[in-house]
Amino acid sequence: MPNVTYIALIPLLPLAAFLILGIFGRKYFKNTSGIIATALLLISTLLAVYTAYGYFFEYGKVDGIYQKLIPLKYTWLQFSEGVSIDMGIIIDPISVMMLVVVTFISLMVHIYSLGYMKGDDRFPTYYAFLGLFTFSMLGLIISSNIFQIYIFWELVGVSSFLLIGYYYDKPSAVAACKKAFIVTRFADVGFLIGILILSFYSNTLDFNKLIERLTTPESNELKNAVAASFLGISALTWGLVLVFIGGAGKSAMFPLHIWLPDAMEGPTPVSALIHAATMVVAGVFLVARLFPVFSISSPNALSLVGYVGAISALIAAVIACTQTDIKRVLAYSTMSQIGYMMFALGVSKYGGEDGLGYTASMFHLFTHAIFKALLFLGAGAVIHYIHSNEMKDMGGLRKYLPITHITFLIACLAISGVPPFAGFFSKEEILLAAYQNNKTIYWVALITSGLTSFYMFRLYFSIFWGRTRPSSFKRDCDEVKGEGGFVMMLPLVLLAFGAATAGFIPFGHFISSDRITLENKFHLMFSISPVALGLTGIIIAMWMYKKENNKPEKFAAMSSGLYKAAYHKFYIDEIYIFITQKIIFNLIARPTAWFDKNIVDGMINATGEGTKEISEKIKTFQSGKIQQYAICFLVGLISLALLFIYVWK
């Protein structure tokens, strides 16, 4: 194996961008910061591609198995014998794949932002935050230690927080960033406790050792972890479920998804990068990272992953059909697609053909990153042009934004699973895996797939077809640059190219559950039904939205209950607000504060007041009358005498 420590540079270059721009940006790089950050990231991207090439084609494969290489490892914090946080780099198929995805999408977003964010007075800060995010995300990917992944997990959380709240004078953005942070934080506690449990039983934090110890059936660690139980569930399952909760929070799985739609308050490129392509799939990545433990040692936990994924996919798809804010539609679509990836993992088994779900999930992650980033960037171009997120302000834009229109269409086709676009291949694999292992999930997935194409084309037709609405963009009609110029169109075109062709990559060659090459099998017969369903969705959407008409309203009125519920996102936000406001605030925090102020502090004060009170009460003893003094004297004497002569001898 060659010396590959240069991989450390991949995350460190964006970090350098963050530090340079964060500290000096405002003063010295007011206008050039975008270029600097992009340049640094470009180097990272090239390094990542180089690494991928080297790993997959040169040194990664030994004896037909892709190796898990650890080119770099430092002990960062030693907890106890054997248990320590090591800062290391792990190189294996999924991390290399993710390196490429993250650097590439990030680079696209960097370039795109050069146009999109131009003229913003916090331009350097924006790029600094992007740098921080990219650093954290890359660090997360290459983590060799479960605690290391947690550290970067938190860091991506905070970068996401900073970027969502980028437009800090908008109260809705502030609320959204708080919500995102707190919800994911809540999930992270689950992750943390999961880490505690896993590390306790495996007595290590290192991924390799941990996986090895918890998957070898004869190891003591595994036996103990399975033997110990709490509420009838084994400690190992608890640990994995809790880790999964962390992943679910970050990946916006039901019911922890509520932050994702709100997170769209951030700048659109940020949504493309963080809340569509990279960070939100961290949960999937985490489950994939621990996949051997899930599938070999705790199938129960894995099936939970599957069901949660399926439910999220369906719910999100339903909600997406009713939303009118284009970014929110995309957000729900993201959630739905991540649900796909999750349940693909959930239905997978370890090793060989049975591990198809794993490969499919990673494949979908890969393709989704490309086409979803494309969708967001396209949406960004639209928003940039029209200064609104609402569908009702849009229509007929294909004449004004031709490139955007084409790329957007490609992305829509890709996500709907129309061959030969990228989404078709990955989705087909997922459905196949689900069909083989869990029929319930398969049907859910199939329905979702139909819904997906419906809402995507609903979006597409509403934006680019129908009547133009002069009121909304009259002022922009004569704007010359229109689509935002080269820097904004270049990423769109590149991504569209990816969305169209990425499906032909033989993914199973590179990534599989046991890291042994999996032969690609294409089931033409099997893919008929999903494709047909997808096309039906498209046709319905065309019928309803291509021309201005009242069919949508009618349809909505027809299924009023379901529509209303979906429109209000099934009232999940309201439930959360009820729990936080009513229960946590009013039933816990307020009484606690009251208790502290009145009971605990009151007791302390009462001690003081009581002392003063007694002091006031007994003052009459000091009456000023000398004869009473003498009486006291004598009484004192006599009582002492009685006490010591008769009582206390």
| 232: contact with other proteins by CB under 8 A | no
| 601: contact with other proteins by CB under 8 A | yes
At 348 the three-state DSSP class reads coil
Decide whether 53 or 633 has the Cβ nearer to other proteins: 633
Q: Are 90 and 152 in contact (CB under 8 A)?
A: no
Decide whether 479 or 596 has the Cβ nearer to other proteins: 596
| 596: contact with other proteins by CB under 8 A | yes
| 557: contact with other proteins by CB under 8 A | no
Decide whether 169 or 553 has the Cβ nearer to other proteins: 169
Q: Are 105 and 137 in contact (CB under 8 A)?
A: no
Decide whether 43 or 83 has the Cβ nearer to other proteins: 83
Closest CB 582 distance from other proteins, rounded Å = 14
The binder of other proteins chosen from 193, 446, 535, 542 (CB under 8 A)? 193
| 233: contact with other proteins by CB under 8 A | no
Which residues from 497-526 bind other proteins, rule CB under 8 A? none
| 26: contact with other proteins by CB under 8 A | yes
Which residues from 52-91 bind other proteins, rule CB under 8 A? 75-80, 83
| 628: contact with other proteins by CB under 8 A | yes
| 620: contact with other proteins by CB under 8 A | yes
| 185: contact with other proteins by CB under 8 A | yes
d(CA 430, CA 359): 9
Q: Is 146 exposed, middle or buried (0-12, 13-18, 19+ CB in 10 A)?
A: buried
Q: Are 375 and 408 in contact (CB under 8 A)?
A: yes
The binder of other proteins chosen from 38, 103, 199, 323 (CB under 8 A)? 199
Q: What are phi and psi of 229, to 5 degrees?
A: -140, 155
Contacts with other proteins: how many residues (CB under 8 A)?
A: 78
Closest CB 185 distance from other proteins, rounded Å = 5
d(CA 464, CA 82): 59
Closest CB 646 distance from other proteins, rounded Å = 8
Which residues from 162-181 bind other proteins, rule CB under 8 A? 165, 168-169, 171, 173-174, 177-178, 181
| 615: contact with other proteins by CB under 8 A | yes
C-alpha to C-alpha distances, 209 to 163, 204, 227, 236, 520, nearest whole angstrom: 36, 7, 20, 15, 31
Q: How far is CA 58 from the centre of its chain?
A: 33
Decide whether 24 or 526 has the Cβ nearer to other proteins: 24
Closest CB 299 distance from other proteins, rounded Å = 25
Amino acid, res. 408? F
Closest CB 641 distance from other proteins, rounded Å = 5
**Cα–Cα–Cα angle for 374, 185, 22, nearest 5°?**
65
Q: How far is CA 213 from the centre of its chain?
A: 28
Piece of the chain touching other proteins by CB under 8 A; list 377-385, 420-428, 571-579, 631-639: 631-639
**Helical (H) or strand (E) element with 546:** none
The binder of other proteins chosen from 53, 555, 571, 629 (CB under 8 A)? 629
Which of 377, 361, 376 lies closest to 286, judged by CA?
361
Amino acid, res. 371? F
Closest CB 251 distance from other proteins, rounded Å = 18
SS3 content of the chain, % helix, strand, coil (to 5): 75, 5, 20
Closest CB 225 distance from other proteins, rounded Å = 12
Decide whether 155 or 562 has the Cβ nearer to other proteins: 155
Piece of the chain touching other proteins by CB under 8 A; list 99-107, 212-220, 432-440, 609-617: 609-617
Closest CB 193 distance from other proteins, rounded Å = 6
Decide whether 141 or 311 has the Cβ nearer to other proteins: 141
Piece of the chain touching other proteins by CB under 8 A; list 54-62, 90-98, 263-271, 584-592: 584-592
At 72 the three-state DSSP class reads strand
| 612: contact with other proteins by CB under 8 A | yes
Which residues from 130-159 bind other proteins, rule CB under 8 A? 147, 150-152, 154-155, 158
Q: What are phi and psi of 119, to 5 degrees?
A: 90, -5
| 480: contact with other proteins by CB under 8 A | no
- Distance between terminal CA atoms of the chain? 92
* 465 DSSP 8-state letter: S
Piece of the chain touching other proteins by CB under 8 A; list 40-48, 445-453, 475-483, 618-626: 618-626
| 640: contact with other proteins by CB under 8 A | yes
| 559: contact with other proteins by CB under 8 A | no
| 578: contact with other proteins by CB under 8 A | no
**Cα–Cα–Cα angle for 371, 376, 380, nearest 5°?**
145
Residue in this structure with the two tokens 């939303």, named with its chain if needed:
323
Query: What string of H, E and C letters represents the secondary structure of 140-208?
Result: HHCCCEHHHHHHHHHHHHHHHHHHHCCCCCCHHHHHHHHHHHHHHHHHHHHHHHHHHHHHHHHCCCEHH
State the alpha helices, DSSP H only, in 203-352. Answer: 207-215, 220-227, 235-250, 259-262, 268-272, 282-289, 291-292, 299-320, 326-346
| 30: contact with other proteins by CB under 8 A | no
Closest CB 201 distance from other proteins, rounded Å = 10
Q: What are phi and psi of 233, to 5 degrees?
A: -115, 140
